[in-house]
Amino acid sequence: MANEIQADYASGNTLYAVIRNRSGQVWLPAQQTFENWGLGGHTADDYDLALTDRTGSRYIGDFDPGLPSGDYCVQIFRQAGATPADGDMLVSSREILWTGTGELTAAKLLANRAIEDRLTETIDYYDDDGQTLLFSQTLHEGVSVFTRTPQ
């Protein structure tokens, strides 16, 4: 996949992305792992994923192909100096549900291919190419209780 990271910000700047997992650790592309920010002397320059200015206040970039599937926060920073630095300004952030090959969205689930196997009671949901499996859901008969507590 490509262009999974997208941000709106005034053209003419240098932006980069940083990926964080649910525990707040940051993705270190060189070692293909998550770590606490600054471990081993690492800085923003070690964590950054470059974004391309497509003009018209739109920046795009690619998820690291080694990033495992999961729920991530994508943070976008404006680079002030010659290289990414820890003091660069955060300009936006958003959550993304990454399948390992692309972003999982409600539109993909509703508009793309889903196949139910009635023998195994499994539903497979596919990406918009119709071939890439996003996830499988297995149905079970029985009592389910869902409780929602408003905050």
E-assigned strand segments in the chain: 5-8, 15-20, 26-28, 33-35, 49-50, 52-53, 58-61, 70-78, 89-98, 114-117, 122-126, 133-138
Residue 1 pLDDT more than 60?
no
Res 23: pLDDT: 95
Residue 58 pLDDT more than 80?
yes
pLDDT digits (tens, 9 = 90+) for 35-44: 999 999 999 9
* CATH fold label, 5-98: Immunoglobulin-like (2.60.40)
Residue extents of the structural domains in the chain = 5-98, 106-138
Q: What's the CA gap between 49 and 93, in Å, rounded?
A: 14
